[in-house]
Structure 1
Amino acid sequence: MTSTEVRPVKTGRAGYLFVAGYTVLLLAFGVVPTGYAVYLAFTNDHGQFVGLGQFSRVAGDFRFGPAFAHIAVYLVMWLVLVIVLTVAVAILLRGLARRSVSALLRFLFYLPGALAGVASVLVWLFMLDPSVSPASSLLSALGQGSFEQVLAPGHLPVILVLIAFWTGAGGWIVVMYGALNNIPDDVLEAARVDGAGGWRTAWNIQLPMIRKWIVYMAILAFAGGTQLFVEPQLLQTASLQRISPTWSPNQLAYVLAFQHGDFNGAAAVSVFLLVLGLIAAALLVTRSGLFKVED
């Protein structure tokens, strides 16, 4: 081989090597636990197949309906807020003339996401306590004069949405900003030449061209929203048990498994959540053509 010849790079084995670690973790902490949960959901304590018996039993539990109703209210608020505001902020950042300001703002938006869920709740407990919160005047103006009033059970969906948006929106803003950067500048320039303002450009060009990214965000935001556990669990403790310990389906599954020893019922609740997430993802994927290859 002469010095000018280039040896071909074998990428097949390298690709498998790169995904091997993730595949092992996915199997160990994703596929295997899911399969075991499905097995438990269709059997009883003695390993006997009971069909849909576990599902009908937990669905008849008086705590099942409220838990799923709570998560439904939360999901509607969370999805609307995260989709509308993150996309809007990303479009505004993309339109900033000074790139340095845009980069600084993206960094600041992303910072809260560096906090773990527990730390985020603790920060918000401080912010929601009128006696120590820097926003105490705002809380008072809203008629919330005490910590007990703020953590009233009816306020929990709003509080959880605020916590989730504060911690998760920054990452999605960065993702949406990256998607907007994939739009060719000549397309945007042509729109400006045709007289399209910022609103019409965003509505008719930018949003359609990042539609698949928005659907991708909606799927992951929905899946994450159904898994609420740490946040309501800590708020339930902070409220001195005024909030139900089975406020979310995951909390209900936890109570069934570790307080009542009903692992089969807890697995049935988990499978309910799994099916709910799969249905939502399937609807979004099929209606949006997320994986459709464009010519």
Structure 2
Amino acid sequence: MTLLETGRAAAPALRRGTVPRRRHRSPVGYVFVGGYALLLLAFGVFPTGYSFYLALTNDQGQFTGLNQFVRVAQDYRFLPAFGHMLLYLALWLVTLVVVVVLVAVVLRGRIRPGTSALLRFLYYLPGALAGVASVLVWLFMLDPDVSPVSWLLESMGMHTFAAVLSPGNLPLILMLIAFWTGAGGWMVVMYGALNNIPDEVLEAARVDGAGPWRTAWHIQIPMIRQWIVYMTILAFAAGTQLFVEPQLLQTASLGRVSPTWSPNQLAYVYAFQQGDFNGAAAISVCLLVVGLLAAGLLIARSNLFTLDEK
């Protein structure tokens, strides 16, 4: 296009006064981003860097390479702690993804708007409780002597609190606690993601003869796949940090639950009972690496950050 043609094409826009103006960046945005950046540096980047420093040195500040990692990996409590965490994560993530997506789809398509809003509020309520409060509620629920569902516990052969908190039951109990506190918020998020699907797409599926479940499986769930992956990454990261729940169960059970049941508990024992901050940092770095590898795999396989072409 020549300059003359360009001028002629721009003339109507000039007459209408719709020529796009050059945008001026407001300093307000920098203020908000700057505050977040400072907090991220102070409570994210710096502690992470310091953890790497401790994990690669000894208590005298001498570089030791991977010796700290080898030493904590040889601890007889190391592999069981990570095994417990992985079993808990498997139960937690599968239950979270299946139930949250299923409930969100049902809320979106088969329940009246007023009822749907009430249910979303009720689902979100447990998430308003802090982790400690939720564990205390579940301690009450899991004690056959005072639990309102004691009949259910006794029917499963759990007649005492010690039987409920046996090591084999802990992954399931912790999964229930995590699901009760965290799933409701994600149901609201998934419901919002489903609302972003154009009604024309769903109407076209109905015209083609697709029922509610076929529409959900072939259209709705694929179109919110990135949100599901995002939920899985954050839930995985939160699950690797498991500490408050097993620690409180350990205290409430008077030592029947191992104080090193999860890797975070093991790191706590290293740091504050043994005074070995270098070993604790090595365990923390291992958890960070596990979380980053899982997130990277999910992002690579799902194209999470790929922009949709218009």
TM class by shorter chain equals over 0.9
Return the alpha-carbon distance in structure 1 between the equivalents of residues 26 and 249 of structure 2: 49
Q: Give, in angstroms, the shift of residue 145 of structure 1.
A: 1.1
| Alignment match, 1:59 | 73
Amino acid in the other structure paired with 1:292: T
| Alignment match, 2:155 | 141
Aligned: 1:233 with 2:247: yes
Amino acid in the other structure paired with 1:64: F
CA contact 1:250–1:270 (8 Å) conserved in 2: yes
Aligned: 1:34 with 2:71: no
Identical columns (%): 71
Write the mapping of 1:107-256 to structure 2, written as runs, cut at 5 A: 107-256=121-270
| Alignment match, 1:263 | 277
Amino acid in the other structure paired with 1:132: V
Q: Normalising to structure 1: TM-score of the pair?
A: 0.96
Amino acid in the other structure paired with 1:216: Y
Return the alpha-carbon distance in structure 2 between the equivalents of residues 130 and 12 of structure 1: 60
Q: Give, in angstroms, the shift of residue 10 of structure 1.
A: 4.0
| Alignment match, 2:287 | 273
Q: Give, in angstroms, the shift of residue 142 of structure 1.
A: 1.2
Return the alpha-carbon distance in structure 2 between the equivalents of residues 42 and 97 of structure 1: 56
Amino acid in the other structure paired with 2:171: P
Write the mapping of 1:5-20 to structure 2, written as runs, cut at 5 A: 10-20=24-34
| Alignment match, 1:74 | 88
Amino acid in the other structure paired with 2:94: V
CA contact 1:215–1:290 (8 Å) conserved in 2: yes
Larger Rg: 2
CA contact 1:96–1:102 (8 Å) conserved in 2: no
Which secondary structure state, in structure 1, belongs to the residue aligned with residue 57 of structure 2? coil
Return the alpha-carbon distance in structure 2 between the equivalents of residues 119 and 10 of structure 1: 48
Aligned: 1:83 with 2:92: no
Which secondary structure state, in structure 2, belongs to the residue aligned with residue 46 of structure 1? coil
Q: Which runs of 5+ in 1 are unaligned?
A: none
Which secondary structure state, in structure 1, belongs to the residue aligned with residue 256 of structure 2? coil
Q: Normalising to structure 2: TM-score of the pair?
A: 0.91
Amino acid in the other structure paired with 1:275: V
Q: Which runs of 5+ in 2 are unaligned?
A: 1-16
Deviations 1:83-117 (A, max 9, x none): 11001100000013410100100000000000000
